[in-house]
A and B are shown apart, each in its own frame.
Chain A
Amino acid sequence: MIDKKILEEHNLTSEEYEKIVELIGREPNTTELGIFSLMWSEHCSYKSSKVHLKALPTTGKNVIQGPGENAGIIDIGEGLAVVFKIESHNHPSFIEPFQGAATGVGGILRDIFTMGARPIALLDSLRFGPLANSKNKAIMEGVVSGISSYGNAIGVPTVGGDVYFNGCYSLNPLVNVFCVGIVEKEKIFYARAEGEGNPVLYVGAKTGRDGIHGATMASAEFGEDLEEKRPNVQVGDPFMEKLLVEACLEVMAKKLIVGIQDMGAAGLTCSTSEMAAKSGTGIEIDLDLVPQREEGMTPHEIMLSESQERMLIVAKKEKVKEVQQIFAKWDLDAVHVGQVTKGGMIRVKANGQTVVDLPVEAIIDLCPVYERELKRPSYLESAHKSEPIPLTNDYNEALQKLLSSATLASKEWVYRQYDHMVQTNTCLLPGADASVLRIKDKKKALAITLDGNSLYSYLEPREGGKIAVAEACRNLACVGAKPVGVTNCLNFGNPEKPEIMWQFKEVVQGIAEACQAFDIPITGGNVSFYNETEGAPIYPTPVIGVVGILEDVSKAVSPGFKQEGDTIILIGENRDDLGASEYLKSVLNKEKGLPPQIDLEEEIRSQEFCLEAISLGIIRSAHDVSEGGLAFCVAECCFLNEQKFGCQLEPRDELRTDALLFGETQSRIVVSTQSQNVQELLDLAKKKKVKASIIGRTGGKNLVIRHLEKEVVDIPLEEVRQLWRGTLPEVFKIK
Chain B
Amino acid sequence: MKFGVVIFPGSNCDYDTYYVLKDVFGQETSFLWHKEHDLKGVDCVILPGGFSYGDYLRSGAIAKFSPLMKEVIEFASKGGLVLGICNGFQILTELGLLPGAMLRNKNLKFLCQFVTLRLENDRTPFTHKGKKGNVLRIPIAHYEGNYFAPPEIIKELETNNQVVFRYSDAQGRVKEEANINGSLGSIAGLTNRKGNVMGMMPHPERASEALLGSQDGRLVFQSIIESKNI
Name A residues whose Cβ lies closer than 8 Å to a Cβ of B.
145, 148-149, 152-155, 237-240, 242-243, 246, 329-331, 415-424, 426-427, 429, 438, 440-441, 553-554, 734
Interface string of B75-119 (1 = CB under 8 A from A): 000000000000000000000000000000001111111000000
Q: Which of A246, A329, A420 contacts B112 (CB 8 A)?
A: A420
Q: Say yes or no: A427 contacts B54, CB within 8 Å.
A: no
Q: Say yes or no: B141 contacts A155, CB within 8 Å.
A: no
Shortest CB distance A326–B (Å): 13
Q: Say yes or no: A153 contacts B54, CB within 8 Å.
A: yes
Is B13 interfacial (CB-CB < 8 Å)?
Answer: yes
Q: Say yes or no: B51 contacts A242, CB within 8 Å.
A: yes
Query: Among B128-136, B171-179, B206-214, which stretch is in contact with chain A?
Result: B206-214
Q: Say yes or no: B205 contacts A153, CB within 8 Å.
A: no
Q: Say yes or no: B10 contacts A424, CB within 8 Å.
A: no
Supply 27 A–B pairs (Cβ within 8 Å), ascending by A: A152-B143, A153-B51, A154-B12, A155-B50, A238-B54, A239-B9, A239-B51, A239-B54, A240-B54, A242-B10, A242-B51, A329-B35, A417-B111, A418-B112, A419-B141, A421-B139, A421-B203, A423-B16, A424-B16, A424-B205, A424-B212, A427-B212, A429-B213, A438-B211, A553-B211, A554-B211, A734-B108
Q: Say yes or no: B141 contacts A422, CB within 8 Å.
A: yes
Q: Say yes or no: A330 contacts B13, CB within 8 Å.
A: no
Is B53 interfacial (CB-CB < 8 Å)?
Answer: yes
Name B residues whose Cβ lies closer than 8 Å to a Cβ of A.
9-13, 15-16, 19-20, 23, 35, 49-51, 53-56, 107-113, 139, 141, 143, 203, 205-206, 209, 211-213
Chain A contacts of B15 at CB under 8 A? 423
Given contacts A239-B51, A239-B56, contact A416 B112 (CB under 8 A): yes
Given contacts A153-B10, A419-B112, contact A237 B211 (CB under 8 A): no
Shortest CB distance A724–B (Å): 17
Q: Say yes or no: B107 contacts A734, CB within 8 Å.
A: yes
CA distance A240 to B20 in the complex (A): 27
Further pairs besides A153-B12, A240-B54, A243-B10: 6, Cβ < 8 Å: A153-B54, A243-B9, A330-B9, A417-B109, A419-B110, A429-B213
Chain A contacts of B108 at CB under 8 A? 734
Q: Say yes or no: B51 contacts A152, CB within 8 Å.
A: yes
Chain B contacts of A427 at CB under 8 A? 211-213
Q: Which of A148, A237, A416 contacts B54 (CB 8 A)?
A: A237
Q: Which of B16, B20, B107, B110 contacts A152 (CB 8 A)?
A: B110
CA distance A423 to B141 in the complex (A): 12
Shortest CB distance A412–B (Å): 8
Chain B contacts of A329 at CB under 8 A? 35
Q: Say yes or no: A417 contacts B211, CB within 8 Å.
A: no
Chain B contacts of A145 at CB under 8 A? 109-110
Chain A contacts of B139 at CB under 8 A? 421
Chain B contacts of A554 at CB under 8 A? 211
Chain A contacts of B10 at CB under 8 A? 153, 239, 242-243
User: Which chain B residue shows the least CB distance to A330?
Assistant: B9
Q: Say yes or no: A331 contacts B9, CB within 8 Å.
A: yes
Given contacts A330-B9, A429-B213, A734-B108, contact A440 B16 (CB under 8 A): no
CA distance A278 to B13 in the complex (A): 37
CA distance A154 to B52 in the complex (A): 10
Q: Say yes or no: B112 contacts A417, CB within 8 Å.
A: yes
User: Which chain B residue shows the least CB distance to A155?
Assistant: B12
Q: Say yes or no: B55 contacts A153, CB within 8 Å.
A: yes
